[in-house]
Copies of this chain bind each other. A is one copy, B any other.
Amino acid sequence: MIIVLRAGATEGDVRQVEETLRVKGLSAHISRGVERTIIGAIGDERKLDPELFEGLPAVEKVLRILSPFKLVSREFQKEDTVIDVNGRKIGGRAIALFAGPCSVEGKDMMVDIGGSVAACGATFLRGGAFKPRTSPYAFQGLGEEGLKHLAEARERTGLPVATELMDPRDLDLVARYADIIQIGARNMQNFRLLTEVGKLDKPVILKRGMSATIQELLMSAEYIASEGNRKIVLCERGIRTYETATRNTFDVSAFPVLKSLTHLPVIADPSHAAGKASLVEPLAAAAIAAGADGLMIEVHDRPEKALSDGPQSLRPETFGKVIERLRKVAEAVGRTL
């Protein structure tokens, strides 16, 4: 950590910073320039909170040298993490393909859609039983009944299932049915929920918050990892910007940036990013081209009657054709789908 003092800082100001460093077990390297005095912290920077210094009137700015996350960093682990879920992999050369409806709406629809997407090459089923909805008057999901339908669809298709957890009180229930637990964008900084899934031995998909920086996403992953669970899959699903032509702005740069900073697999959710079925294919293709390790795509047999997210859902037959075309893009960048 580098602490830059304001012009006119006194020797007393320098002493104060030195003293704070000493208390935290670090030492100071002082460099007096013509315009500014700069203090370098010698020792483990991660023990220091920049706020310790930003509060001092003589301090102009505090610059971090190291990233604040560790266990999830590429520096900590050089090789890519590959997660195995009953023989299906996330990470590695093959692109993982999660597909299914936004909400589980019934057993038959779940089993039918599950069968269709499995036939098209999906490697995981998705479906929400607990749904975060902006309006209290909107459909909130089927709860445990939905989880049972998911389990039924797994039974029939052999595909592992992923579903969202919104509340620590539902942890046991959801963990009983789900192979993979999803933490939604709105809960990316629900730290209590992160701590709880960190104690499980089950893969977790962590979606990037609507206005989370890449660093904040990694810090949330660090929360899970620091509790012991290293089976973490990051998911880019679009960020909030001033642009209103799309529901969110799909941050395609996040794939190469994340792959350089972390060893964790990173997947894409083009359906939520776009908010429109016609944009799912181009965004999915872009994600693969930019290095995504997986896709999560919403499929519904009757999008116009879906209880949530209809506009962005693909029909099963469209999904099949889209996957065929995406397969070529995957091959062009040395991956399989």
A residues with a Cβ closer than 8 A to B are: 2, 4, 7, 16, 20, 29, 31, 33, 35-36, 38, 40, 42, 46, 49, 51-52, 54-56, 63, 65-66, 68, 75, 132-138, 140, 166-169, 186-187, 189-192, 195, 210-211, 213-216, 219, 222-223, 226-227, 239-246, 249-257, 260, 273-274, 276-279, 282-283, 285-291, 303-304, 306, 308-311, 313, 325, 328-329, 331-333
Contacts and interface: CB of A to CB of B under 8 A. Distances in A.
A244 B191 CA distance: 23
A224 B134 CA distance: 12
Given A55-B306, A219-B134, A241 B244 contact: no
Contact of A54 (B223, B255, B260, B311): B311
Nearest to A187: B190
Given A289-B285, A290-B285, A308 B252 contact: no
A7 to B, nearest CB: 6
A132 B189 contact: yes
Contacts of A241: 239, 241-242, 249, 251
Contacts of A226: 136-137
Nearest to A62: B311
Given A33-B42, A137-B46, A213-B245, A304 B55 contact: yes
B211 A242 contact: yes
A245 B286 CA distance: 19
Contacts of A333: 285, 325, 328-329
22 contacts: A33-B65, A35-B65, A52-B304, A54-B311, A63-B63, A68-B134, A136-B195, A166-B190, A167-B168, A169-B169, A213-B243, A215-B245, A241-B249, A242-B242, A245-B253, A245-B257, A249-B249, A249-B253, A253-B274, A260-B278, A328-B333, A332-B332
Contact of A135 (B31, B222, B252): B222
